[in-house]
């Protein structure tokens, strides 16, 4: 098994299992336990770890970008309600603030790369804790805000994406400095991003069983096309790093 998926929502983990079985997502195991009850040591043998996996937007987007199924990464779109401007804005005081569980897994698993996603409200409520925890675990981070509408989606869905990597590695050029992320009139211009109104993982929600569950899952899901864009940035940056490995490169710290 190359991948570990975790989600407690019955509809989501059913979708994950079905699409793993069909080959649409990387092979792996789906764990439906509450992440707070999972011993992080159990996850050390997996190439990919997808926490709060939802309906599989992260692994699907990675595949769209050409990311190999056995290429190490940890992803997490942890619950946004504590930091959302539409919620009670309790931040770390909200019982749904589960970032510490992601940090706990990162400290034990020590992934080569961490890719996180959350609402923009995280930048003003919780980002300090997140960056502090990553730094304490020995990781540097870069972040940027992308909108699903920039990729042709019929909705805005503005989200912050955070990329973290061990700070003992040589400096990375992820393009977050606006080098690789090329914009034209505010829209990413690197690729053409075909869009359908609902991801192919689910199909149309109208008139079918569990419609409410499907709509909720869609509302919480990370947009695969945006993940694919970020993943391609990372793959390009890795190529640059590989070219520099024979040169005198300054360490990040």
What is the per-residue pLDDT for 92?
Answer: 56
Q: Roughly what angle, to the nearest 10 degrees, separates helices 10-21 and 211-220?
A: 80
At 232 the three-state DSSP class reads helix
Query: Which domains are present in the chain?
Result: 3-244 (3.40.50.150)
Chain center to CA of 129: 18
What is the per-residue pLDDT for 173?
Answer: 52
Cβ burial of 202 (10 Å; 0-12, 13-18, 19+) is middle
**Residue that wins the pLDDT comparison between 17 and 218:** 17
Per-residue pLDDT of 49-92, as tens digits, reads 999 999 999 999 999 999 999 999 999 998 876 665 555 555 55
What is the pLDDT of the chain when averaged over all its residues? 77
Residues in the chain, total: 253
Per-residue pLDDT of 156-202, as tens digits, reads 788 899 999 998 654 455 544 333 344 444 444 444 443 333 344 44
Weakest-pLDDT range from 18-27, 35-44, 202-211: 202-211
Q: What is the pTM of this model?
A: 0.78
Out of 12, 80, 171, 252, pick the active-site residue: 80
Q: Identify whether 252 is a catalytic site residue.
A: no
């Amino acid at each position: 098994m190359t991948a570990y998926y975790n989600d407690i929502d019955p509809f989501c983990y059913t979708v994950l299992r079905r699409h793993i079985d069909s080959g649409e997502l990387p092979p792996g195991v789906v764990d439906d336990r509450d992440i707070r009850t999972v011993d992080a040591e159990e996850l050390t043998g997996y190439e990919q770890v997808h926490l709060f996996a939802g309906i599989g937007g992260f692994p699907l987007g990675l595949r769209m970008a050409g990311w190999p199924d056995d290429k190490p990464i940890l992803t997490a779109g942890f619950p946004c309600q504590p930091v959302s401007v539409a919620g009670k804005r309790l931040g770390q005081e909200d019982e749904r603030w589960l970032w510490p569980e992601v940090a706990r897994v990162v400290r034990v698993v020590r992934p080569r790369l961490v890719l996180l996603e959350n609402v923009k409200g995280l930048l003003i409520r919780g980002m300090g804790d997140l960056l502090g925890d990553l730094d304490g675990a020995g990781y540097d981070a870069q972040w940027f805000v992308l909108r699903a509408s920039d990729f042709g989606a019929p909705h805005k869905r503005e989200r912050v994406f955070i990329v973290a990597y061990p700070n003992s590695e040589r400096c990375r050029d992820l393009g977050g400095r606006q080098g690789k992320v090329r914009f034209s009139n505010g829209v990413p211009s690197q690729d053409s991003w075909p869009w359908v109104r609902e991801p192919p993982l689910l199909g149309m929600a109208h008139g079918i069983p569990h419609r409410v569950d499907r709509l909720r899952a869609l509302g919480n899901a990370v947009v695969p096309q945006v993940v694919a864009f970020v993943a391609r940035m990372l793959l390009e940056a890795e190529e640059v790093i590989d070219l520099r490995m024979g040169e005198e490169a300054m360490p990040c710290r």
